[in-house]
A and B are shown apart, each in its own frame.
Chain A
Amino acid sequence: MTPVTLTKKDFKSDQDVRWCPGCGDYAILNAVQSVFAEMGMDRSKTVIVSGIGCSSRFPYYMSTYGFHTIHGRAPAVASGIKLANPELDVWVVTGDGDALSIGGNHFIHALRRNVGLKVMLFNNRIYGLTKGQYSPTSLVGAVTKSTPNGALDNPFTPVSVALGAGAAFVARSVDVFGKHLTETIKAAAQVKGSAFVEILQNCNIFNDGAWMHVTDKDVKDDSIVELRAGKPLTFGKTSQFGLRLNGFDVQKFEIGKEGAIDDCITWDPGMPNPGLAFAFAQLAEREMPMPIGVFRNVERANYERAVHQQIAEATAKSGQGDLAKLLNSGDTWTVS
């Protein structure tokens, strides 16, 4: 049988997409469909699991298997699916409220265990589906329906949370950076264990322009640094800026004036120590460029495979379980 080549269209379901016109989710859906087609993914072996929120409608628009679960619980449902059948390709689509607020516990534990899930978190710094309350990634001072005088609590940086949970693959991309986004999703798709991708996404209704300060075409060259494996970290329209280490800190400098290109950090997402990745996760909060790309990509034992390995080992050692023998085990006696 000749393999059928699938196109992007083959990954579209028959359902009408019902995000607001102009929502960043359209671009992400488009990117995912392209990557799945390009990678020749098997629709029947792919399951997309989501929680609750605008982003979580995602599975309905894909022609794969899909499960739209309950608020925050997608990683837990997805973990069950992956444990039950490790052969399935399981993707989780979630949002900042879904993954980091109500579902924070499941999010960190799935990453800690390194269950083979690809988690895409659409971060728009707002609760969209409930019509505009602040989220755990909203900035201090954010004026929303539930914080008319400004949000008071410090936000999470999703990449930091993922790194803190011990995630083996952590990346960040942007809804409107088509090529970068497809490349990042493709890299995540190839990971055996957990892969976490934060996607900066615009909610044009309740938090329009939340990422404009970094993604707008007039400022992005100076406000974004792309993490590329094996490449020196430079940014700016003419790559005139570099990032170097100063003690334990990251420092920005002008190449040629304040230092040489060789002073730049050469990015290595495979570093065993997650320290530098963590420092970069915090960078944008400190008037520095926002890093995008792969922060971390290391090999770690994969949970569901280890679980089935233990089962295989126990079976090899004691033989396939015999039910009659099991019931008859322990102290037995016969009444005649």
Chain B
Amino acid sequence: MSTGTSPTAPKTEVVEEVVIRFAGDSGDGMQLTGSQFTTTSALVGNDLATFPDYPAEIRAPAGTIPGVSAFQVRFASNDIHTPGDAPDALIAMNPAALKVNIKEIKKGGLVIVNTGNFGAIDLTKANYTYNPLESHDLDAFQVVQADLNKLTKEALAGLGLDTKATLRCKNFFALGMTYWIYSRPMEPTLEWMKSQFKKRPELVEANQRALKAGWNWCDITGVFQSRYEVPPAKLTPGKYRNVMGNQATALGLVAAARLSGLQLFLGSYPITPASDVLHDLSKFKNFGVVTFQAEDEIAAACATIGAAYAGNLAVTTTSGPGLALKGEAIGLAVMTELPVVIVDVQRGGPSTGLPTKTEQADLLQAVYGRNSEAPLCVIAAKSPSDCFDAALEACRIAVEHMTPVILLTDGYIANGAEPWLLPDVAKLKPINAKFRTEPTDFLPYSRNPETLARPWVKPGTPGLEHRIGGIEKADGTGNVSYDPANHEFMCRTRAEKVERIANFIPEAEVKGAQSGKLLVISWGGTHGSIASAIEKCEAAGKKVGWVHLRHLNPMPRNLGEIIKRFDKVLVPELNLGQLVRLVRERYVVPAIALNKVQGRPFMTSELVTAIEKELA
């Protein structure tokens, strides 16, 4: 029952999904705000996908366009694969955030603007010569103007915090507003604040007050006509947690160490966007994980090779520029046939490129980027949670086939989050790590007849002392050999060893049409966008087949046969055409390239348009 004086209670609309984007200055705490919204949405049971998008500079000049940091989250009651194309709502903390993001917001969408940062200076910093709030720029949107600075100050009055500390809480005022609008509970964030600021009770109080004040402001003022509710998603039953790609990679590596019974060694050098794997693994000391922050990328790779030689599950993590630096060392791992896992969290390039933006342009570097004939295994992860399985797979192949393996992830899935159906640890397949200990008839370069793997011998094993190195090996003995015929034999053997991995990996599966006009072949982090596009096409009655590759070198044995069943092959990638070259070369088909290199993922709509064009 209404008590009479409050404005008309807003109606609550149930919707299937919402995409919102928090945008502000890089000092405004947008990443934190977005991840809190994500955690809360996960806990209410939505399916979700996130897209953090932040500048490479820690703090670009405040209020400017390069300093804008954004976090997009899509939460849904249905099964979703991407963070969404056009947001339904934008929270813009300053003019620069408005300017950068408004063009992507759905027409008719909700735009909440913090007018507290819309003074003349703020507008100038964002290169506005006028005030967009007083123009027709926003006519197509439902705009809610609120001075979050003033409202936060009022909410925190009497706490004794200075203005700077007070204003730092305004992101939680904004978060409180969104919690009210989208009917999210505040408790998870209130609890999180308690643990986050454990040693600063005044900050717990301030942030909690700001969050509640944002909620209450919406409740009292009646500014919003509607509230929305997104019911829980019908996900596969089981226990879930929210996970980011880099986190899942780290967990997958720890799991691989357990499943192989090996000590995990990580040799790494800080590089965006891969560093979080190093950070996470350095916390897992009680799992016996040795993390080594080396002096440079080369040392990280070389120490990893040393650890593999000494019998550890040895991993190095990096991004594109680091992979380039590690190239010579990886060649040594190819020559000495040691199990080394190299994780490349791809980013925009070349050179420093776009360190915080995503790209898939290291595929050819991974497959070919070493001197001479240096074949190795390349696999890729397709989503944040899939990084766990991909890390396990990389370790398994490395150890069971005695070869370096490059695992490609990318900035988009490394920093993006999604709900992860937790695996049953007891059901994870063990990794078969075997060390040779028998001295009789020992030859360092003898081979397993099926895999062609050479024996792995830990230094410290009596009777098996031997020498290895980067100089060509004589077949069997591993002694230095300059014999021409031996060199060709060894080059071919190393290549065949990698090719034979195809006998141990699953065959490719075609989703959708099993034959016909068009086959889409994709790899890596574009999986979500392409899955959405394929679903849309199918819903519209269009027939298209789709293969998403985990294994890029070697490729699944049946891929050639699948390609033959279709008239055309379309290869969408976030590069200028790399997998498409491999497909054209290996299967001699005129595969069509669909490329985007803007540091951003594909939009579902872009893919649907391209697929329709090829089907027409």
Contacts and interface: CB of A to CB of B under 8 A. Distances in A.
Contact of B459 (A47, A73, A315, A333): A47
Interface string B5-19: 000000000000000
A58 B500 CA distance: 35
Contacts of A43: 465
A84 B238 contact: no
Contact of B235 (A85, A106, A335): A335
B306 interface: yes
Given A73-B302, A333-B45, A307 B237 contact: no
A314 B286 CA distance: 5
A332 B467 contact: no
A272 interface: no
Counting chain B CB atoms within 10 Å of each CB, which of A84, A310, A317 scores highest? A84
Contact of B465 (A49, A63, A76): A63
B307 A81 contact: yes
A12 to B, nearest CB: 12
B265 interface: yes
Contacts of A52: 470
B459 A45 contact: yes
B587 interface: no
Contacts of A330: 241-242
B136 interface: no
Contact of B287 (A65, A76, A324, A326): A326
B480 A87 contact: no
A80 B237 contact: no
A279 B235 CA distance: 72
Contacts of A334: 237-240
Contacts of A328: 239, 241, 422
Nearest to A47: B459
Interface stretch (B63-71, B289-297, B374-382, B488-496): B289-297
B285 A310 contact: yes
Contact of A331 (B188, B328, B332, B458): B188
B314 A80 contact: yes
A323 B275 CA distance: 22
A101 to B, nearest CB: 14
Contacts of B284: 321, 326
Nearest to B459: A65
A318 B422 contact: no
Nearest to A15: B479
A319 B285 CA distance: 10
Given A69-B332, A69-B469, A73-B299, A60 B242 contact: no
Contact of A317 (B235, B286, B305, B468): B286
Interface in B267-314: 267, 284-290, 292, 294-296, 298-299, 302-312, 314
Interface stretch (B127-135, B138-146, B250-258, B521-529): B250-258
B158 interface: no
Nearest to B331: A70
A76 to B, nearest CB: 4
Contacts of A336: 237
Contacts of A66: 466-469
Interface string A211-252: 000000000000000000000000000000000000000000
Given A68-B468, A77-B303, A327-B251, A335 B295 contact: no
B329 interface: yes
A84 to B, nearest CB: 4
A20 interface: no
Contacts of B241: 327-333
B265 A318 contact: no
A331 B42 contact: yes
Interface in B442-497: 458-471, 479-480
Contacts of A335: 45, 232-233, 235-240
B468 A105 contact: no
A180 interface: no
A70 B463 CA distance: 26
B295 A105 contact: yes
Contact of A83 (B42, B298, B303): B303
Contacts of B42: 331, 333
Interface string B387-427: 00000000000000000000000000000000000110100
B263 interface: yes
Nearest to A108: B295
A101 B470 CA distance: 20
Contacts of A331: 39, 42-43, 188, 241-242
A168 interface: no
Contacts of A78: 306
A335 B233 CA distance: 9
A190 interface: no
B290 A13 contact: no
A105 B299 contact: yes
A333 to B, nearest CB: 6
B302 A69 contact: yes
A67 interface: yes
A73 B298 contact: yes
Contacts of A138: none
B459 A80 contact: no
B462 A44 contact: yes
A152 interface: no
Contact of B240 (A69, A329, A333): A333
Interface string A90-105: 0000000000000001
Contact of A65 (B263, B423, B465): B465
Contacts of B310: 47, 80-81, 84-85, 88
Given A81-B307, A331-B39, A332-B239, A323 B295 contact: no
A84 B286 contact: no
A73 B314 contact: no
A76 B312 contact: no
A269 interface: no
A327 B238 CA distance: 14
Nearest to A62: B467
A55 interface: no
19 contacts: A15-B467, A47-B459, A52-B470, A66-B467, A76-B295, A76-B302, A79-B299, A80-B267, A80-B305, A81-B307, A81-B309, A83-B292, A83-B307, A84-B263, A85-B459, A326-B284, A328-B422, A334-B239, A335-B238
Interface of A: 13, 15, 43-45, 47, 49, 52, 59-60, 62-70, 73, 76-85, 87-88, 105-106, 109, 307-308, 310-311, 313-315, 317-321, 323-324, 326-336
Across the A-B interface, give the 3 residue pairs with the lowest CB-CB distance, nearest first: A80-B306, A68-B469, A80-B303
